[in-house]
Amino acid sequence: MKRAKTIALASAVLLAVAVMLAGCGSPEPEEETAYITISLGGGAGRAAVPWDAGLSAESIPHDIIIDGALIASGVKIGGGAVFKHAVTPGEHSVEVRGYDPASTAKLVSYAEATATVALGENKSCPIQLRQAFETSVTPWADAVNAIKVGGNPDRIYYIIANTDFSLAGSTDYSATFGPAAGIAVNIRGTGKISLAPDTKGSLLIIGPDQTVSLKGARLEGHSTNDRSLVHLTYTYLKGDGSYDYTNPTSGTFKMAGGTISGNNGGGVCVVYGTFDMSGGTISGNTTGGTGGDTVGDNGGGVDIEYGTFNMSGGTITGNKARDGGGVNVSSGTFNMSGGLIAGNESTGSYEYSYYGGGGVSVRGVGNIKATFNMSGTAEIRGNKAACSGGGVALKVAANYAIVEFNMSGGTIAGNESGTGYFGGGGGVGMGLYSISTSDGTRIMNMTGGTISGNKAGVSGGGVYYIDTMEGGTITDNESIGDGGGVAGIATMTGGTISGNRAGGSGGGVYIYSEEDEATITFNMSGGTISDNNATSGGGVYVGTYFNNEYDYYTGPTLTINIKGGTISDNTAADGGGVYVYAQGTGGTPSNYARTNFTMTSGTISGNKATTGSGGGVYVYGNGNRATSTFTMSDGNIAGSEAADKGGGVYVVGTTATRGVFNLNQPAGKTKEEMLVSNTAKGGAGSGDQVYVATGQFKIDGAVQTADTGYDW
């Protein structure tokens, strides 16, 4: 910004208010007016400029800038002098720039603050002037060298980059601003800092125990680079000369504005450090092909390796990587409470199951847990993955690794996963097509937020496996295969799964296992599964498969317990509400595929089998080594409809004991109250409430006649 030689201060202001700066004192009200009163404060800053014994604070002429507009020039602050000015209500940014009195074009000091103002205040607002450089007068290299020379611990600097220039990249991981610990460098301005086209490396390397912040300036790389534009280094060496290999020291990068763009090698790479993003844009960066900073070509926009990423604002968009197009977190922590991650892409081939996460990839490596916490107004939208997790992918690299995703707020919407074998989870995926305890531990807990409008090329339009759902909404997602809303869930105590679609089975929820000796359980005690659609199991599909030709294995067991909640208004060709399936062949009589559905409370209502049977529940045991059993001890199946047989429940098995429905009437409640107002439209004897084909139907343990419809 060019300094004005003269400026006329306003003499009158309607609705005058005061700006409250950080560190302001107590309010001093005046009648119908309010002001910002700026003064010097804080130790040596009040009387002298601590980095230059030849300059006194009182001798420095200052520019006062409010909301980007120059308010006054040549202002003296210090030695009892203050600056007082009226402003308008709302939030305001304030800058104070000090210039060398011997060369008024040379910036020597800077202070900034942001405040929300209220009517009727006059606040004394002391500021701290910090050493500053402006690249239009002091070239970047000179400013960096001055910081290196004067880089005492805990010193704070500003570089105002208002010009465009290019720099040679650094590849030796030496800190840009020298080795001094505790320093903070704030980069401001509107200029573009470009990586010189004939060089490779990083523009900013942040050393251990250093802080660098970016607001306004633009960092730009090029397509032949192989390093991130910003890189945080670390050390095991402590101040006392000892080494601590369990607790390395790294730096902090803060981004409140500006851009990081156009670089091959990634945007930001953090190793054991911290990245705080509250504004700005990271866009158009790529990794993949040459390695560089990012481990395994991860994180096109941001790569976190054992560090922490806190995102409360800003945008990460249009980045690409084999793994984690927008963000990759490897055994670190990602806290996202705001901002937008959109239009990023994971390009890794579906042949490699560990690739994924168009928006975010969270990967457990070794024995250090990887955690992603999503809350507030955070958004992950319109990302794509060639493999799993169009929006978010959760993966483990060893059988003892742990990765956890906790979603309490925010939105994951409009993302898409691939069509290959590992293409599960349009919104959130698990990185592998099957969930196995031998693959490590992957955990997803949902207490709030929305997952909507996502699409999976294989299974899990919204989510591929969720451990606990206590709240939130999974809606309007689609799977070309199975599980329009969710493919795999362990516990549901609240929340809503609604309006999802599956080309195969399980419009709302799909749970399936063919893994030997697997024991899988889904407990539902609350929440709603409604208005979903599939070919079979419009609301819920649960099934097992087992083929044990040589008697070596025992087969999987899958159990669903409905203890509360509602499954309503879902549609499918068969099993409008719930489809219970088991298929098994070969082996000894003790080796089975077992699917068990127990209902002790809750409601299954208003569901439809549009062309077939089982409006409420369809039970099917297929093969000589399969048992599919539905046991109802309480709750209600009501108002459901089948185009053919079994408006409430349809039971079929290869033999009488393969498909079983046990209806146990609790004390004080009859079967007429448990299954009520269901309809079968297959004609006389089609069983409005229950139809038993070749399966078995028991009431309080007594076997009923097969191949019969039941109406009461």
Q: Is the pLDDT of residue 437 over 50?
A: no
CB-based burial, 653-670: b 16+ in 10 Å, e otherwise: bbeeebbbbbbebeeeee
Question: Measured over all CA atoms, what is the biggest interatomic distance in the chain, rounded to whole angstroms?
Answer: 106
User: Averaged over 394-418, what is the pLDDT?
Assistant: 89
Minimum mean pLDDT range among 363-372, 598-607, 620-629: 363-372
Q: How confident is the model at residue 18, as a pLDDT?
A: 31
Q: How far apart are the C-alpha atoms of 697 and 690, rounded to whole Å?
A: 9
Q: How far apart are the C-alpha atoms of 262 and 264, rounded to whole Å?
A: 7
Residues in the chain: 712
In a domain, 106, yes or no: yes
pLDDT interval class at 105 (50, 70, 90) = confident
In a domain, 578, yes or no: yes
Domain count, the chain: 2
Q: How far apart are the C-alpha atoms of 288 and 146, rounded to whole Å?
A: 37
Q: Is the pLDDT of residue 120 over 90?
A: no
Q: In this structure, are residues 395 and 424 in contact, taking their beta carbons and an 8 Å threshold? A: no
Q: In this structure, are residues 424 and 390 in contact, taking their beta carbons and an 8 Å threshold? A: no
Which range of residues forms the domain containing residue 593?
A: 513-712
Amino acid letter, residue 163: T
In a domain, 97, yes or no: yes
Higher-confidence residue of 34 and 544: namely 544
Q: How confident is the model at residue 552, as a pLDDT?
A: 60
What does DSSP assign to residue 507? S
CA-CA-CA-CA torsion for 666, 671, 672, 673, nearest 10 degrees? 30
Q: Please tell me which of 138-152, 275-289, 461-475, 514-528 the model is most confident about, judged by mean pLDDT.
A: 461-475
pLDDT interval class at 421 (50, 70, 90) = low
Q: What is the pTM of this model?
A: 0.91
Helix (H) or strand (E) holding 464: strand 463-469
Q: Is the pLDDT of residue 15 over 70?
A: no
Closest CA to 259 of 146, 140, 132, 161: 161
Minimum mean pLDDT range among 124-133, 167-176, 412-421: 124-133
User: Averaged over 267-290, what is the pLDDT?
Assistant: 91
Q: How confident is the model at residue 7, as a pLDDT?
A: 30
> Of 117, 133, 149, at which residue does a domain stop?
133
Mean predicted lDDT score pLDDT of the chain: 87
Q: Please tell me which of 45-54, 66-75, 352-361, 536-545 the model is most confident about, judged by mean pLDDT.
A: 536-545
Tell me the per-residue pLDDT of 632-668, one tens digit each, with 9 for 90 and over: 999 999 999 999 999 999 999 988 789 999 999 999 9
The contacts of residue 170 (CB under 8 Å, 6+ apart) are: 176, 201, 202, 203, 205
Q: How confident is the model at residue 354, as a pLDDT?
A: 62
> Of 133, 159, 192, at which residue does a domain stop?
133
Q: How far apart are the C-alpha atoms of 328 and 330, rounded to whole Å?
A: 6
Q: How confident is the model at residue 238, as a pLDDT?
A: 78
- Residue with structure tokens 């560190």? 23
DSSP assignment of 638-707 equals ES-EESSS-SSEEEEESSTTTEEEEE-PPTT--HHHHEES-EE-SSTTS-SSEEESSSEEEETTEEPPSS
Q: How confident is the model at residue 78, as a pLDDT?
A: 75
In a domain, 661, yes or no: yes
Q: How confident is the model at residue 655, as a pLDDT?
A: 83
Tell me the per-residue pLDDT of 504-536, one tens digit each, with 9 for 90 and over: 999 999 999 887 777 899 999 999 999 999 999
Q: Is the pLDDT of residue 133 over 70?
A: yes
Q: How confident is the model at residue 590, as a pLDDT?
A: 63
417 three-state secondary structure? coil
Name the burial class of residue 48, with classes exposed (0-12), middle (13-18) and buried (19+) by CB atoms within 10 angstroms of its CB. Answer: middle
Sign of CA dihedral 48, 49, 54, 58: negative
Residue 439 phi/psi, 5° resolution?
-95, 10
Q: Is the pLDDT of residue 265 over 80?
A: yes
Q: How confident is the model at residue 252, as a pLDDT?
A: 97
In a domain, 710, yes or no: yes
In a domain, 552, yes or no: yes
Higher-confidence residue of 2 and 493: namely 493
Q: Is the pLDDT of residue 52 over 70?
A: no
The contacts of residue 206 (CB under 8 Å, 6+ apart) are: 175, 176, 212, 230, 231, 232, 233, 251, 252, 253, 273
pLDDT interval class at 173 (50, 70, 90) = confident
Q: How far apart are the C-alpha atoms of 444 and 212, rounded to whole Å?
A: 33
Tell me the per-residue pLDDT of 177-232, one tens digit each, with 9 for 90 and over: 998 888 999 999 999 999 999 999 999 999 999 999 999 899 999 999 999 999 99
Closest CA to 535 of 607, 612, 465: 612
In a domain, 564, yes or no: yes
Q: How confident is the model at residue 49, as a pLDDT?
A: 59
* Residue 711 CA: distances (Å) to CA of 196, 573, 676: 81, 22, 9
Distance of alpha carbon 372 from the chain centroid: 6
Q: How far apart are the C-alpha atoms of 703 and 693, rounded to whole Å?
A: 13
CB-based burial, 610-643: b 16+ in 10 Å, e otherwise: eebbbbbbbbbbbbebbbbbbbbebbbbbbbbbb
Share of residues in the chain with pLDDT > 90 (%)? 65
Helix (H) or strand (E) holding 469: strand 463-469
For the chain, how many helices (H) and strands (E)?
A: 2, 71
Q: Is the pLDDT of residue 697 over 70?
A: yes
Tell me the per-residue pLDDT of 340-390, one tens digit each, with 9 for 90 and over: 999 999 988 755 556 789 999 998 887 788 999 999 999 999 999 998 999
Q: How confident is the model at residue 53, as a pLDDT?
A: 58
In a domain, 153, yes or no: no
What does DSSP assign to residue 11? S
3-state helix, strand, coil in the chain (%, to 5): 5, 50, 50
Q: How confident is the model at residue 34, as a pLDDT?
A: 77
The residues with which 642 forms a beta bridge, in sequence order, are: 609, 680
Helix (H) or strand (E) holding 583: strand 578-586
Sign of CA dihedral 532, 533, 539, 542: negative
Q: Is the pLDDT of residue 20 over 50?
A: no
Q: How far apart are the C-alpha atoms of 271 and 290, rounded to whole Å?
A: 19
Q: Is the pLDDT of residue 289 over 80?
A: no
Higher-confidence residue of 461 and 289: namely 461
> Of 75, 105, 133, at which residue does a domain stop?
133
Closest CA to 405 of 334, 476, 328: 334
Name the burial class of residue 541, with classes exposed (0-12), middle (13-18) and buried (19+) by CB atoms within 10 angstroms of its CB. Answer: buried
CB atoms within 10 A of CB 437: 10
Minimum mean pLDDT range among 14-28, 141-155, 231-245, 682-696: 14-28
CA angle 284, 478, 570 (to 5 degrees): 155
